[in-house]
Amino acid sequence: MEDQKTTSSKQVMLNYGLILGFVSILIALTNFAIGDIYKPHWSITIVSLVATIVIIVLGFKKIKESNGNLLSLGEALKTGLGIALISAILYIIYFYIFTNFIEPSYFTNLAKVQEATLIDTYPNFTDEQMESAMEMSQKFSGFGMISAIALIMSLFFGFIISLIAGLIMKRTEED
């Protein structure tokens, strides 16, 4: 029974992680098509968050179905983090393709947008302060750093969503 449960859990993580990854890519491509990739509208964040919640909860529901309507908090956390990890890896692969083939000038354009934002936000910055702020901004704007941040944020939100949904949906034999 334990082996079947583990296989089921891994399969759910893979399937729902791939679904969430493809949904994330679809949202990103839609954002690109709209022309809003450098300063996305807040609604994009809301849509992404709702999609993440729904897909993780559907994964938990699938686990419960395959385990006789039982779901422990540990199983929920493991499954939710697995879904988030697979989704993040798929998105990072997409982001690599996007920044190297679809929009190769992404980082150059991002730097211009960041500079314009700094000028608008801090009009009294001296040239020295502006240069320092741009250098700091550049350190956090490369592929590696953005990918690491995306992975960390995916796991963080995956953990929070899994914790809350797991506490709500958990059902053990003792219950």
3-state secondary structure of 71: strand
The answer to the question of residue 119 being in a domain is no
The answer to the question of residue 54 being in a domain is yes
The answer to the question of residue 109 being in a domain is no
The answer to the question of residue 118 being in a domain is no
The answer to the question of residue 131 being in a domain is no
Full domain range(s) for residue 62: 2-104+142-169
Question: 122 CB contacts (<8 Å, ≥6 apart)?
Answer: 129, 130, 133
Which pLDDT value is given to residue 1?
A: 45
Please tell me the pTM assigned to this model: 0.92
The answer to the question of residue 64 being in a domain is yes
Domain total of the chain: 1
Identity (one letter) of the amino acid at 122?
Y
List pLDDT tens digits, range 23-75.
Answer: 999 999 999 999 989 989 999 999 999 999 999 999 999 999 999 999 999 99
List pLDDT tens digits, range 120-145.
Answer: 999 998 989 999 999 998 888 899 99
The answer to the question of residue 114 being in a domain is no
The answer to the question of residue 128 being in a domain is no
Q: How far apart are CA 57 and CA 96, in angstroms?
A: 28
Question: 72 CB contacts (<8 Å, ≥6 apart)?
Answer: 170, 172
The chain-wide mean pLDDT, for the chain, equals 93
Asked whether the beta carbons of 53 and 165 are under 8 A apart, the reply is yes
Which pLDDT value is given to residue 174?
A: 81
* Element (DSSP H or E) covering residue 2: helix 2-34
